[in-house]
Chain A
Amino acid sequence: MKYTLSVLVENHPGVLSRVAGLFSRRGFNIDSLAVGVTEDPTISRMTIVVNGDDYIVEQVTKQLNKLIDVIKIKKLNPKEAVERELALIKVNANSQTRSDIIQITEIFRANIVDVSKETLTIEISGDEDKIEALIELLKQYGIREVVRTGLIAIERGNKVISKSKSEEDE
């Protein structure tokens, strides 16, 4: 099963490598890890998707909490969070297939962001399933390259995960 962790960390050099290193040496599998600065420039947020069971997630959370640079960790409930991923997909396109691909892109509310004689590059954002579905459909034309950001997620409503809100701590 997949779990999404939202992790607030100090915005220092080397923090990402500490977090990623912890996963590899403890034998935990990361499905994706997306990181960026928050509204407070001294703090970054990592969205980590972990594959495992409850024991794994508990261990990941506890071990992450041990890192001095980690301020807060919250396991997000998918039903109460907005989850998005961005992907860029470069697909083969010729005069016969181009209109079909454009049609599929429109159905998925994706955008064509680059065109060449032999390819189209499509930008899509959405949850993992939506992106997978588009990739599956585009496979028949020949996918040349896929670039994905990994999942980012935020809680719905007025809930926030911040440095000062201790009740949100794991």
Chain B
Amino acid sequence: MAKMTVARAMVEVLKSEGVEIIFGIPGAAIYPFYDALYDSNIKHVLVRTEQAAVHEASGYARTTGKVGVCVATSGPGATNLITGIATAYMDSVPIVAITGQVNSSLIGKDVFQEVDITGATAPFTKHNYLVKDPKKIVRILKEAFYIASTGRRGPVLIDVPIDVQMQEIEFEIPKEIDIPGYKPKEKGHPLQIKRAVEAIESSKRPVVCSGGGVIASGASQELQILIEKQKIPVISTLMGIGSIPTDHPYYLGMIGSHGQKEANLALRQADLLIVIGARLADRALGDTKITEDMKIIHIDIDPAEIGKNVDTNIPIVGDAKQVLSEVNKRISERKDFWAYEIKAQKKVLPDDDKLHPYDVLREISRAYNGDYIITTDVGQHQIWAAHNLYIKEPGTFITSGGLGTMGYGVPAAIGAKFGRPEKEVISITGDGSFQMLLQELATIKREQVPIKIVLFNNTRLGMVYELQKKRCTGRFIATCLDGNPDFMILSKAYGIESMRLESKEKLKEAIEIMKSHKGPFLLEVVTSPDEPTIP
């Protein structure tokens, strides 16, 4: 057993877990860890605010399937992580967040840059640790990676006091992790699977609602086999977009208050709803009331999700990939696809001389043929993107679905590009969201991250503006973003090439310029404030 400091041991465990990249900002309470990182080959990306560090780790995790790692110092560094951690929790993204803490002997005394970050993050971390005993650090870090990346994934935070980081320990990595209270159940119950098969086969109008869990478990192929065998229309939640290709003949679109008409219609007409890896939150259900006549099969790795928002007839706890492959083994073939009629009612978008956001997104889809990773921010542009982009592969549409965190998209794109450098990464954003974390343009410049940013600029907080228009009879308050900077000059200040698109004639040319540009690029699309979320 080698002797080393806790800080060095932390780096050694990260290396043993295959960590290649860390996003963070140093500070006085985490400097021993950073000092130990100096001697390692782990890449460190210096972000401009800690919130971006979590989002970048999230983008990295969601594109690679690995655990994303971010680091911050104590106090404000740690609290700046909070929004990002909550975002990762709501979307089940595996993150290990490491924070420095003040000296152990000073904890609880409100000293400089002290905050109870484990207390603060307890409601939205999968688990967290305050490391008081230096000897436990190795096991705790191993556990953190195990917890973050198994079962229903999620963020884990480890808070390490500075004096603990500096102490010497005997370094030995435990071979096995055994946590008595944590035994994720991956295999579905055979009897429940049998009941599910019977219910699907005897239903007349089944619908699959596919959520983020399908993508997280890598169950897209199994889902496709099931729906093609049984000819089941698929609707998805925002997090489930990409779980099957959006041009699949059985895909009807996203459900919910901002969903597609045909998807919601299918949900209302169904006699059997098969929910897979989704929690069916209020936004997903929209105005649709689940009636007693509709049977529900709910497959989820997290038993607490089943029956939480809707009553379930056949609950199946397990990993979506495993459960669906078991279902597929037993399921028969069906002849008719019942929802063709619904699909035929698909709305035709207006085609006029104006430059609409959907024109831009459809042109991007055409130009790239779906060979990209898309990240979005939160707002009207997010819904436009969800409705109009062609998403070919699972895990290539990355958005803050659960928490709805503005500012997520650009940092997530940076993380995604580090995770999948061979892929084109495009961040779709709005002027409101973009300005919540635009300091990350500095990270893009410093690291020369060749991502593309498509910025819909309508000088509004568009979602709320639209809400005020409809619900407050046009009493607009605090939704006009007058005072926006000139985004072209702004991006020039960061050394990033940019272009402004104002007319439809220039659309193809602009997308081509963006596509052929080698480095980072910002395309500002001037958009009417009155462009609705759903035309």
Partner of A10, one of B126, B130, B180, B308: B180
A17 pairs with B119, CB closer than 8 A: yes
Q: How far is the CB of A141 from chain B (nearest CB, A)?
A: 43
Let me know if B304 and A21 touch, CB within 8 A. no
Provide the residues of chain A in CB contact with B302, threshold 8 Å. Answer: 66
B123, B130, B303, B304: the one contacting A25 at CB < 8 Å is B123
The complex places the Cα of A90 from the Cα of B303 at a distance, in Å, of 46
Q: Given contacts A17-B119, A25-B123, A62-B303, is CB(A68)–CB(B181) below 8 Å?
A: yes
A68 and B147 form a contact (CB under 8 A): yes
Q: Which residues of B contact A71 (CB under 8 A)?
A: 180-181
B146-159 near A? 1/0 per residue, CB < 8 Å = 01000000000000
* Residues of A participating in the B interface, judged by any CB pair closer than 8 Å: 9-10, 14, 17-18, 21-22, 25, 55, 58-59, 62-63, 65-72, 163
Chief secondary structure at chain A's binding surface:
helix
Q: Is the CB of B308 within 8 A of A59?
A: yes
Q: What are the 7 tightest A-B residue pairs by CB atom distance, in nearest-first order? A: A62-B304, A68-B127, A71-B181, A71-B180, A70-B181, A68-B182, A25-B123
Chain A residues with Cβ under 8 A from B118's Cβ? Answer: 14
CA distance A17 to B123 in the complex (A): 11
Say yes or no for B179: interface residue by CB 8 A criterion: yes
Write 13 A-B pairs (CB below 8 A) sorted by A numbering: A10-B181, A14-B118, A18-B122, A22-B123, A25-B123, A62-B303, A62-B304, A65-B304, A66-B304, A68-B126, A68-B147, A68-B179, A71-B180
Q: B154's closest neighbor in chain A, by CB? A: A66
Measured CB to CB, the nearest residue on chain B to A21 is B122
Interface centre among A62, A65, A67 (most CB of B within 10 A): A62
Q: Is B18 part of the contact surface with A, judged by Cβ < 8 Å?
A: no
CA A40 to CA B180, docked complex, whole Å:
13
User: Besides the contacts A58-B307, A68-B181, what 19 more A-B pairs have beta carbons closer than 8 Å?
Assistant: A9-B181, A10-B180, A10-B181, A14-B130, A17-B119, A17-B122, A21-B122, A25-B123, A59-B304, A59-B308, A62-B304, A62-B306, A63-B304, A66-B302, A66-B304, A67-B127, A68-B127, A68-B147, A70-B181
Nearest CB on B from A40, distance (A): 11
Bound together, the chains give a CA A21 to CA B308 distance in angstroms of: 19
Question: Distance in Å from the Cβ of B157 to the closest Cβ of chain A?
Answer: 12
A-B contact count (CB 8 A): 41
Q: How many B residues face the partner with a CB closer than 8 A? A: 18
Which residues of chain B have C-beta atoms less than 8 A from A66's C-beta?
A: 302, 304
Q: Which of B292-309 contact A (CB under 8 A)?
A: 302-304, 306-308
The answer to whether A65 and B180 touch across the interface, beta carbons within 8 angstroms, is no
Q: Give the residues in chain A near B126, CB-CB below 8 Å.
A: 68
Q: Which residues of B in the span 121-170 have a Cβ within 8 Å of any Cβ on A?
A: 122-123, 126-127, 130, 147
Q: Which chain A positions have C-beta within 8 A of B119?
A: 14, 17
With a CB–CB cut-off of 8 A, which chain B residues contact A69?
Answer: 181
**Least Cβ distance of B316 to chain A in Å?**
15
Bound Cα distance A9, B180 (Å): 9
Complex Cα distance, B308 from A10, in Å, reads 26
CB distance from A7 to the nearest CB of B (A): 10
| C-alpha spacing A109/B180, complex, angstroms | 41
**Judging by beta carbons under 8 Å apart, are B181 and A67 in contact?**
yes
Alpha-carbon gap, A21 to B180, bound state (A): 21
Q: How far is the CA of A72 from the CA of B182 in the complex (A)?
A: 10
A62 to B312, CA, bound (A): 15
Contacts of A62 in B (CB 8 A): 303-304, 306, 308
How far apart sit A67 and B123, CA to CA, in the bound complex (Å)?
A: 10
- The CA-CA distance from A59 to B118 in the complex, in Å, is 24
